[in-house]
Amino acid sequence: MKFLKHIIAFITIVVVVNAEAQTTNAKMNAFVNNLLSKMTLDEKLGQLNLPGAGDITTGQASNSDIGLKIREGKVGGLFNIKSIEKIKAVQKVAIEESRLKIPLIFGMDVIHGYQTEFPIPLALSCSWDMKLIEKTARIAATEASADGICWTFSPMVDIARDPRWGRIAEGSGEDAYLGSQIAKAMVHGYQGDDLSKNNTIMACVKHYAMYGAAEAGRDYNTTDMSRSRMYNEYLPPYKAAVEAGAGSIMSSFNEVDGIPATANKFLLTDVLRDQWKFKGFVVTDYTGINEMVNHGLGDLQKVSSLALKAGVDMDMVGEGFLTTLKESLKEGKITIEQINNACRLILEAKYKLGLFDDPYKYCDEHRAATEIFTEANLKFAREAAAKSFVLLKNKDQLLPLKKNTTVALVGPLANSKENMLGTWAVAADFTKPLSLFSAMKNKVANNVSVLYAKGANISEDSAFEARVSVFGKPFDRDNRSTDILIKEALDVAEKADVIVAAMGETAEMTGESSSRSDISLPQSQKDLLKALIKTGKPIVLVLFTGRPLAIKWEQENIPAIINVWHGGTEAGNAIADVLYGDVNPSGKLSTTWPQNVGQIPIYYNHKNTGRPLEEGKWFEKFRSNYLDVSNDPLYAFGYGLSYTSFSYSDISLSKSTIKSNEKLDIKVTVTNTGNYDGAETVQLYIRDMVASITRPVKELKGFEKIFLKKGESKEVHFTLTAAGLKFYNNDLKFVFEPGTFKVFVGGSSDNTKEKSFELIK
């Protein structure tokens, strides 16, 4: 009876919620239909146009070129415009001077924070902490919306398995399951539970699709893959973001299967609309439409019509829609329904954001003082940064450092502020972060000295440095000879008990258009490390990077390595927290680190092949391997050390056989066996032993981050059902297939316990 009451209550709630949604939808439809009926063709095309902010300077909005276009109804939104003052001024032109007074939307690349910068996305993904990641997005949304922004070009959910690709920094790594969880968390963080609030902003999932699979890791390069790989390994995070309610999605620059994503009907209509039921709008990436001329699909008029027909709604920057669709309509190449449909989706987005009710709702000048760059936000940024660091090696427990040790802090990144922030710090103040040098000095106060010497430039090649900084701040290059620089470092090392070497990549060595074919430490830095080793002093390598690096030599020769990525505004403090043991590192890699570039692409969830290597061996003739390097990664997916250690019990399964309608309980006991309290991410993998298509040797299916005091044990449970064992078969049907499965549980993809079970019909 009680049960029945619950069901009735539940059904009532669902019915009420649905009814409310229907009323809201009906209201929105009526509003948008009415508006559409008043719009001229030019005004409709105007809504599809998303220019950059261009020449707007404070106080000049109305007279700028963009201002003129807005007045004529030729602009749907603007991006990369910063400050409430400017945003208010251009919105005023739209509301007071354009015929239909349709508000603009304002977008920006708020990627890993607004003014409070968080670690780059790849770093954040190594926290494996969904609440934390969601909260970074929530804070970013609050700060951005307090500064006039209502739309962010984030999350980037492109799966990437090639660390040569600079944009690997912007995503969540190589795994579809982890990537999907993060995609959801980010969308929820930005959009909250109500997009019409003034502190939530619309997410834009990007770059749809398969942008991370660019051949040879070269940005914007061709992508080609089987549908089976797409559906099983690359599409899930986009789908997860769509299911989480993302309001918009960005089509990518690359081609897929011979057709640029921006004109790809299969992706934009068949998959996105028909299969996933996406209700938001599609915006191109930058000049994505114009670039299809270079792809070889026709002139601007042709490619613009292809994009519209395939399912693009809004044209970023290129103005192909604005300048050519009218002609294409006249020629019968496109239909007015296609234009109406795109326009409708953009108006709906504005409606959902509440802009028709109050076009200035994100322009409250009072909010900034109490909501942007607050102490609480900075505190959280410090926590997030520390949780993203991955301890890669810690021989003889060299870390944590004692606070009374004299440290020689050396390296080109030891005294840098701006490189803390990471690749997309569009709204940040680059003077705000503390350098590691300052943060370490603050941490030990006056107890003991932290001695500093730069010791090396980022690279021995000034032309390389110039290419890296084309778009940003020039390198702070020291033009004295290498010998002098190294000598200075050796002098401070001589006086110290331990050397901390802050090395790696500057923020701009990853990110857009920052692919590298050699992902090792630049020679100048290696030379410094080699000289430092000769002192015989213990060395801690603090590695700044936006991608996995090939650091086999460093792994073999340096006793302690901690990867700190580009950790955001509070990175300096967070690194000091971890180096001195106030925080125990707990990050786990979300991408495989190769031994060398030749192994790329290397990822944990590869297939077995017909000629796998026998376990324990690293070479056998006529097997799938190399003559000169083992198949092993340098660091596996899921790997990351702690100052403490954890042991895992054997796995216990609730059953050895489950039916397709049953659940399997998987239990392990994890114990903190070391001397520090610490967090561990317990990972669950499976392998489908026999199937109608080949399946990966391991596949992440769950994880739980637990905190254990030293000596403490915890039981961790995972539940698997047949639904969780599904995959896309060769007909692209999402199915499970009965048979034998292996389950693996452990603290890294290459260090697990295992058991088997059978799935029967």
Distance of CA 30 to the CA centre of its chain: 37
Compute the least distance from the CB of residue 512 to ligand BGC, in Å.
6
Shortest distance (Å) from residue 68 CB to ligand BGC:
23
Q: Tokens representing 88?
A: 């208010």
Q: Closer to ligand BGC at the Cβ: 515 or 681?
A: 515
* Nearest distance, CB of residue 286 and ligand BGC, angstroms: 4
Say how many CA atoms lie within 13 Å of 144 toward its Cβ: 35
- The three-class DSSP label of residue 299 is coil
Q: What is the DSSP letter of 271?
A: I
Contacts of 682 (CB under 8 A, 6+ apart): 648, 668, 670, 703, 704, 705, 706, 716, 745, 746, 747
Q: Which lies closer to ligand BGC via its Cβ, residue 293 or residue 697?
A: 293
Residues facing 740 on adjacent strands: 758
CB–CB of 721/663 below 8 Å? Answer: yes
Burial class of 34 by CB neighbour count within 10 A (0 to 12, 13 to 18, 19+): exposed
Nearer to ligand BGC (CB atom), residue 206 or residue 344: 206
Residues 406/407/408/410 CA torsion (nearest 10 deg): -170
Q: What is the DSSP string of 304-366?
A: HHHHHHHT--BEESS-HHHHHHHHHHHTTSS-HHHHHHHHHHHHHHHHHTTTTT-TTTT--TT
Residue at shortest CB range from ligand BGC: 153
Cβ 317 to ligand BGC shortest distance, Å: 8
Contacts of residue 5, Cβ cutoff 8 Å, sequence gap at least 6: none
Take residue 560 and report the two structure tokens written for it: 């302690």
Q: Give the active site residue among 285, 313, 577, 688.
A: 285
For residues 171 and 158, the answer to whether their CB atoms sit within 8 Å is: yes
Helices 320-330, 300-310: crossing angle, 10 deg rounding = 90
Q: Which CB, 285 or 418, lies closer to ligand BGC?
A: 285
The nearest distance, CB 88 to ligand BGC, in angstroms, is 22
**Shortest CB 471 distance to ligand BGC, Å:** 11
Within a 10 A sphere around the Cβ of 111, how many other Cβ atoms? 27
Q: How far is the CB of 285 from ligand BGC (least distance, A)?
A: 5
Residue 241, classed as helix, strand or coil, is: helix
Q: Which residues bind ligand BGC (CB under 6 A)?
A: 109, 153, 206, 285-286, 512
Ramachandran region of residue 192, left (φ > 0), alpha (ψ -120 to 50) or beta? left
Q: Has 285 been annotated as catalytic?
A: yes
In the bound state with ligand BGC, the residue whose beta carbon lies nearer, of 285 and 371, is 285
Looking at beta carbons only, is 121 or 522 nearer to ligand BGC?
Answer: 121
Q: Which helix (H) or strand (E) holds 410?
A: strand 407-410
Q: What is the DSSP string of 104-152?
A: PEEEE---SBSSSBPPPHHHHHTT--HHHHHHHHHHHHHHHHTTT--EE
Query: ω before 400 within 30° of 0 (cis)?
Result: yes
Q: How long a stretch of residues is the chain? A: 761
Report which of 201, 227, 209 is spatially closest to residue 263, judged by C-alpha positions.
209
> At its nearest, how many Å lie between ligand BGC and the CB of residue 153?
3
**How far is residue 410's CA from residue 739's CA, in Å, rounded to a whole number?**
56
Please classify residue 38 by burial: count the beta carbons closer than 10 Å to its beta carbon, then call 0-12 exposed, 13-18 middle and 19+ buried.
Answer: exposed
Give me the least distance between CB of 374 and ligand BGC, in Å please.
Answer: 26
Instruction: Rank residues 43 and 162 by Cβ distance to ligand BGC and give the closer one.
Output: 162
Residues 6+ apart with CB under 8 A from 624: 609, 611, 612, 613, 631
Q: In the complex with ligand BGC, which residue's Cβ is closer, 168 or 485?
A: 168
Task: Report the C-alpha gap between 8 and 694 in whole angstroms.
Answer: 45
List beta partners, residue 204: 248
If the CB atoms of residues 219 and 478 are measured against ligand BGC, the closer one turns out to be 219
Residue 427 Cβ vs ligand BGC, minimum distance, rounded to whole Å = 12
Q: Which is nearer to ligand BGC, 281 or 286 (CB)?
A: 286
Which lies closer to ligand BGC via its Cβ, residue 143 or residue 699?
A: 143
Least separation in angstroms between residue 77's CB and ligand BGC is 12
Catalytic residue numbers, as ranges: 285
